[in-house]
């Protein structure tokens, strides 16, 4: 078992908490964070669909 498996997630959450305590306008920061996560997810999903389509075309299905 890897003892530091979740260390990246824990560090990310800790960084977000530290940033939110230092910023006065937390609503704007949360909005920007949400938009960033959403756009990254949509881009990844679109790339996945494109790759799946190309793989199926190459396989002749």
Q: 20 CB contacts (<8 Å, ≥6 apart)?
A: 26, 29, 30
pLDDT tens digits, 1-52: 566 777 888 888 888 888 888 888 888 888 988 999 999 999 999 999 999 9
pTM of the complete model: 0.59
Q: What pLDDT is stored for residue 54 in this prediction?
A: 92
């Amino acid at each position: 078992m890897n003892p530091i498996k979740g260390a990246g997630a824990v560090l990310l959450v800790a960084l977000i908490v530290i940033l939110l305590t230092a910023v006065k306008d937390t609503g704007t920061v949360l909005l920007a964070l949400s938009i960033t996560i959403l756009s990254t997810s949509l881009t990844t999903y679109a790339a996945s669909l494109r790759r799946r389509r190309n793989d199926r075309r190459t396989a002749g299905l």
